Amino acid sequence: MMDTNQYMGMFLEESREHLQTLNSCVLDLENDPENLSVLSEIFRSAHTIKGMSATMGFTTIAELTHEMENILDLLRKGQLKASHDIIDTIFRCVDTLEQLVESVASNNESSIDSKPLIIKLKALAKGEAVLSTPVKAEAVSIAPGASSSIELSDTEIAVIKKARDQGMQAYEVQVSLREGCLLKSARSYMVMNALDEIGEVIKSIPAVEELEKENFSLSFQVIVISGSEAEKIQHAVLSISEIDQAVVLPCVLPNDATEEIIAPKSIEPMKKDDEAEKTGNVLVHTQTTVEKKNKSGQSVRVDIDKLDTLLNLVGELVINKTRLEQIGLTHKLTDLVETIEQMDRVTTDLQAVVMKVRMVPVGQVFNRFPRMVRDLSRDLNKEINLIIQGEETELDRTVIDEIGDPLVHLLRNSIDHGIEHPNEREEKGKNPIGEIRLIARHEGNNVIIMVEDDGKGINADIIKRKAVEKGLISQGEADAMDANEAVRLVFLPGFSTAAVVTDVSGRGVGMDAVKNKIESLGGMVDVETKVNEGSKFKIRLPLTLAIIQALLVKVSEEIYAIPLGSIDSTINIMPSDIKTVQNKEVILLRGQIIPIVRLADVLNIPDSDNQHTEEELFVVIVHIGEQRAGIIVDNLIGQQEIVIKSLGKLLAGIKIIAGATILGNGQVALILDIGSLIQ
């Protein structure tokens, strides 16, 4: 018995990939039912899942995909039409397969009953029974003394003659597979393998490519040259599981009669004994290897944990490099400084490579949304066109894993609250089909992801009224707010504008959860909207969460790191430059009023220089999106590459602090979270 545990990770990962392909391709098929290339893609994915699951012993998954294949084959041959009923049933199959695969992943005994779906698939197939009766493989029965009648080319005849001169014989082997065989291509491959071990296969009908694609019913023929007896050839074929019959015949050439060659004896068809089913599906993995041989050196699947470890090691290397730099400068060791410069280049390159390896296209997350939008728009009786742009934009794997849920919520929000019903849109002079755009692009050291809709937009007055009703803000605060500030109230905890709580959205949890999740990833989310024109939610995320450039600053005896991506500039000001507006300290910079944050006060640091001094103050001008602020610090130390370390569970969730880093001298410096500082 084959140990399948070692392949479990590969099975789960590849199954999920193929299920994702199925989801997107069935959507394409729904839009273009005549598209044969999409049908072939769907067939290939279903077939691969069937093969893998049968090999791993997951019979429920194998049976369901087997029945799916039958329907897909009929669609491919044009014997069935891709009706709504068929598309919906295939979608239900994909959903059930997803549940089955996840139950395998979590080691739960699956309580999912796929029998009703299998019955439905069989019924759909029989709906076109007149057209779609497959040709049954006849049980091959040849009388003793019969001989092969396969047409041979001149080259093949020459090969057979040469083999006879060397004392070998040519046989035709007629193989019949068992009815309902799940892995026809794998069985044919195993037959070829077995025959290659005792001879040389020179021809197969149908050709090997067709056998691999399963383009045959339940029987095929093979011409083999061998020095072995016919019985041995027959026995080799019958030792393979799911083979029903094997007939071995002598191969007769056109001029054999005149030459009176003594033909090797033919062997009667022999039925496979059930107890002989001893061999497992060991060779299926070999088949996969053969198909992908040309790619084996091109890519490697790596566990994400190993990449995390690699990144940590590169981080340690960066820390030690910084330490060496300090030693070199302190002791004025020229040789060491030169070596460190070289090492600096190597660590930078190494770091860049590790980062690239961890990068994953956002398409991996985006691909699951078209199906979700289709299902939701149907539930809500809306017509929605989802446009995805920039799915090749890459993000760090850790960010990719976390970004899915916030995007799901934003999309559901656009579908439920944003896009109006078709008749309502027509009344407003809009296209009845709503449009949602999901866009990703690089912007500096960040990735921007936008969810835009052309729906009804967000009415600032309604938002203010709801927020006051729920006691989230006072009436006075509401009156003082402009439209942009009012719209941002949707991100407050417990805020919802839904008149009716639906399954889709409006449970009063959501936008605040989206905001918290994005901010925990070091990003930020903002919203722009125009009434009756639509809304745009804009997420800004850091490319990576591991090693960044930062400015080190000093406050009293403490050292803090400010990410370079958030810094506009550094300036020196006199205390007299600070003005007070509405009880808030501000400065005027190039005609713009910028609020001031005294870091010593915010972090309660005692004995800071900037409290009572009349000397110049150091100010770091930072920004998050459109918002800017000036942070007053005691001193600027300089720019440095830092490795972000999390603060651990005990200190998780502290505002203002985004993490920590270890400096070259072994001291720990806290990294400031500019988003929460500005707010």
Q: Please tell me which residue in 23, 413, 446, 610 is annotated as part of the active site.
A: 413
Active-site residue, 66 included? no
Q: Determine contact, residues 614/665, Cβ cutoff 8 Å.
A: no
Neighbours of 162 (CB within 10 A): 11
Q: What is the 3-state secondary structure (H, E, C) of 295-324?
A: HCCCCCCCCHHHHHHHHHHHHHHHHHHHHH
Sequential DSSP letters for 216-266: S-SEEEEEEEESS-HHHHHHHHHTSTTEEEEEEEEPPPTTHHHHT--PPPP
Q: Which entry of 18, 23, 41, 47 is annotated as an active-site residue?
A: 47
Containing 547, the helix (H) or strand (E) segment is strand 547-555
Within 10 Å of residue 56's Cβ, how many Cβ atoms?
22
* Preceding amide of 254 cis, omega within 30: no
Report the length, in residues, of the chain: 679
Distance CA(418)–CA(436), nearest Å, equals 9
d(C-alpha 174, C-alpha 140), whole Å: 7
Q: What is the CA radius of gyration of the chain?
A: 35
Task: Give the burial class of 514: count Cβ atoms within 10 A of its Cβ; 0-12 exposed, 13-18 middle, 19 or more buried.
Answer: buried
Pairing, β 434-443 against β 384-389: parallel
Return the closest-CA partner of residue 584 out of 526, 519, 629: 629
Query: ∠ CA 169-171-172 to the nearest 5 degrees?
Result: 165
108 has catalytic annotation: no
Between CA 536 and CA 543 the distance in angstroms is: 21
97 within 8 A of 129, measured Cβ to Cβ? no
Angle between helices 230-238 and 184-198 (to 10 degrees): 150
* Count of Cβ atoms closer than 10 Å to residue 119 Cβ: 11
CA dihedral 302, 304, 306, 309 (to 10 degrees): 150
Q: Tokens at residue 117, please?
A: 């779906």
Look up tokens 């049954």; give the residue: 136
Distance CA 346, CA 168 (A): 62
Residue 531 near residue 457, CB atoms below 8 Å: yes
Catalytic choice (41, 63, 67, 69): 69
Which residue pairs, CB below 8 angstroms and at least 24 apart, start in 8-12?
8/56, 9/303, 10/301, 11/52, 11/53, 11/56, 11/104, 12/101, 12/104, 12/105
Query: Which residues of 9-148 form beta strands (DSSP E)?
Result: none
- Catalytic (active site) residue 285: no
Measure the N-to-C terminal CA separation of the chain; round to a whole number of Å.
62
Amino acid letter for position 399: V
Neighbours of 350 (CB within 10 A): 15
Say which residue the tokens 């439209």 belong to.
483
> How far apart, in whole angstroms, are the C-alpha atoms of residue 53 and residue 433?
40
Looking at the annotation, which residues are catalytic?
47, 69, 413
